[in-house]
A and B are shown apart, each in its own frame.
Chain A
Amino acid sequence: MAIPYERIEHTADLAIRVTGEDLPQLFVNAAAALFDMMTEPPAVVDRQHEVVVESVDLEGLLVDWLNQLIFMHEVRGETYTRFEITAFSPGELRATVYGGPTSRKLKTIKAATFHALIVAETETGAQAQIVFDV
């Protein structure tokens, strides 16, 4: 199934708009979009990890969630393809992430930033705009 996101123009970096049927699904789709840009899918999906992210607010939660995944990707050499959110509030997120050893990297993303960050509920669900430093 296609991940509901698109690239937006930015001179030096990478910006995306992503949607979801609700906030937790938005976070799942944003994570999927991140890996879609960074790597090819792993050959096997044989790993899972519990992830806990705490933040000051909803926007911070999205940035921290994506940066936590970037950290795990770099340090473990893993790519994640499935994200199950088990608890969600503006200040905390718990999830199980599933993936495998990274097969081929496409792009290095240094971090998700707060710049021009939008995380909002809409009539049809939820939407976010994120700028990544590349």
Chain B
Amino acid sequence: MIGKQDFQHVAEYVYEIPASFRPGMRVPARMYADEKILEAALPDKAAEQLVNTAMLPGVTKYVLAMPDVHQGYGPPIGGVIPVDEATGVISPGATGYDINCGVRLLRSELSADAVMPFMQELVDTLFRFVPSGVGKGGDIRLKGSEMDDLLIRGALWAIERGYGEPEDAELTEEGGSMPGADPGAVSAAAKARGGDQVGTLGSGNHFIEVGRVDEIYDEEVAKAFGLFHGQFVLWVHSGSRGLGHQVCTDYVKSFQLAMRKYDIQVPDRELVCAPFNSPEGQAYFGAMVCAANYAWANRQVLANRARQAIYQVLANHNLSAELRMVYDVAHNIVKRETYEIDGKPLKMIIHRKGATRAFGPGQASVPERYRAIGQPVLVPGDMGTASYVLVGTQGAMEQTFGSACHGAGRAMSRSAAVKQIRGQDLQARLKEKGITVKGGSWEGLAEEAPEAYKDVNRVVNVIHNAGIARKVARTVPLGVIKG
């Protein structure tokens, strides 16, 4: 097992395993952490998995783990795998089954105090309006060319059908509609699995949360993001549902043959890959983009349903507000981005698996409104603690291939959480703290208990102190619905 002694402490918050550590490593493996996070991360297989990713063909400079790192099923969660586009590989397992699992934040002009008196009603109404939970389908059923249209247009598809405003897509990563989609590369099975799931939350760690901004760290940037102290905000966390899962399953299967064709060996079969510039690699990328667009359409519909629920409840109490976008980010995705390597621009494939893009000032792909300051970096925490809004920096561009953490990161296995925590007790405990939670199953709730997660404050402080993304605001949960 990899121990602390195997890491070199190369910077205050950077621990590195050199490429010489194990045969097959092409680059070093870097972990962003403080000492406590590093020590807590060592008992599970995350460090081993990180070392494995350093063996992929075409990996460049180093592979990275963010401070929310934990064991996954291929790369570690919290992993960033940067690959030279011309010579390197693309890996479906390194992107994940929930392609474009991501999070969206909306803001209002209301203070959270104004809605606290009817929080239970708000949570109950959200639960009614938003299909959530294990295997729950929705009322949008897609087939044939309509599905293909959604896979190409993403959030724009949903907005054109009345689910929200053009501004929602403008303030989404990739405009909610990533170029490069190839619906022909998405199997009939994947389209069938996603046929009735647009606008559904799913289960596991997906949630919708209403909260209060309880800390502002950077007044100027907060103002640019439209955030203020005491503000009532809405978080939506979900992904590409069964369609994305099936795309990953399909390509992990078909790439087993591609590996033999291109004579590639990997230390973990879940890291199966193919050259990006190959028919197989291009097909997966085209399918991955479709799944990413599906997730953006999904979050667009979900957020709009949540808006409708909130507006209805506010109207019952003679209040009104407009919930407007702050931003929407992906944290399981592959992107084509250019970085300076050895003084020259290099086109790269960046796999982010439980990691969020964190572009700094002056980047063309950041919406015009935020371009001069940097993109919002949204980091949802567990349902009992807090979530953060940060801003991307030049430091991220230089250090981490424009990447930051994605959440608190799990610390306890699901089975251990269910053994130790009763969902009903958890709900009561959170209620005492002023947090109203409604979930689809008690076991599902227990699995997502705050104690099952790392300390998000600690994780975010590493990102902030390492100069990757700067803290802008913190929100605390008031009402949460989970699948």
Chain A residues proximal to chain B, CB less than 8 Å: 7, 9-14, 55-56, 59-60, 63-64, 67, 71, 74-75, 77, 102, 105-108, 110-111, 113-117, 131, 133-134
Contacts and interface: CB of A to CB of B under 8 A. Distances in A.
A114 B260 CA distance: 16
Contacts of A117: 269
A60 B270 contact: no
Residue of B73, B97, B252 contacting most chain A CB atoms (<10 Å): B73
B74 interface: yes
Contacts of A74: 135, 193, 242
B189 A71 contact: yes
Contact of A9 (B195, B202, B416): B416
Contacts of B412: 11
Contact of B256 (A7, A10, A60, A108): A60
B134 A113 contact: no
Interface in B217-269: 242, 245-246, 248-249, 252-253, 256-257, 260, 268-269
B152 interface: no
Given A9-B413, A108-B203, A108-B204, A113 B245 contact: no
Contacts of B98: 110, 133
A57 B74 CA distance: 19
B324 interface: no
A7 B415 contact: yes
B100 to A, nearest CB: 14
Interface residues of B, number: 46
Interface in B251-305: 252-253, 256-257, 260, 268-270, 272
B386 interface: no
Contacts of B203: 107-108
A10 B414 CA distance: 8
A114 B134 contact: no
Contact of A108 (B46, B73, B135): B135
A131 B253 contact: no
A60 B258 CA distance: 14
Q: Interface on chain A toward B: helix, strand, loop, or mixed SS?
A: loop
B470 interface: no
A5 to B, nearest CB: 13
Given A106-B443, A110-B245, A114-B272, A13 B416 contact: no
Nearest to B44: A11
A56 B411 contact: no
Given A9-B416, A11-B71, A77-B135, 10 more contacts: A11-B412, A13-B73, A14-B414, A14-B415, A75-B192, A107-B203, A108-B134, A108-B203, A113-B74, A133-B96
28 contacts: A9-B413, A10-B413, A11-B413, A12-B70, A12-B414, A55-B256, A56-B260, A59-B269, A63-B253, A64-B253, A67-B253, A71-B249, A74-B193, A75-B189, A102-B135, A108-B134, A110-B98, A110-B245, A111-B97, A111-B248, A113-B74, A113-B252, A114-B252, A114-B268, A114-B269, A114-B272, A115-B74, A133-B73
B81 interface: no
A9 to B, nearest CB: 5
A134 B192 CA distance: 20
A31 B296 CA distance: 33
Contacts of B97: 110-111, 113, 133
Interface of B: 44, 46, 70-74, 77, 93, 96-98, 133-135, 189, 192-193, 195, 202-204, 242, 245-246, 248-249, 252-253, 256-257, 260, 268-270, 272, 410-416, 441, 443-444
Given A67-B249, A71-B189, A134 B73 contact: no
A55 B416 CA distance: 34
B134 A131 contact: no
Contact of B134 (A14, A60, A71, A107): A107
A115 B413 contact: no
A67 B74 CA distance: 17
A70 B132 CA distance: 19
Q: Which 6 A-B pairs have the closest CB atoms?
A: A114-B269, A115-B73, A105-B134, A115-B270, A110-B245, A105-B135
B70 A11 contact: yes
A64 to B, nearest CB: 6
B189 A12 contact: no
B192 A113 contact: no
B135 A12 contact: no
Contacts of B193: 71, 74-75
B254 to A, nearest CB: 10
A108 B202 contact: yes
Nearest to B96: A133
B129 to A, nearest CB: 21
A7 B96 CA distance: 22
Contacts of A114: 74, 93, 252, 268-270, 272
B290 to A, nearest CB: 17
B70 to A, nearest CB: 5
Given A60-B253, A114-B269, A10 B93 contact: no
Nearest to A14: B414
B299 to A, nearest CB: 18
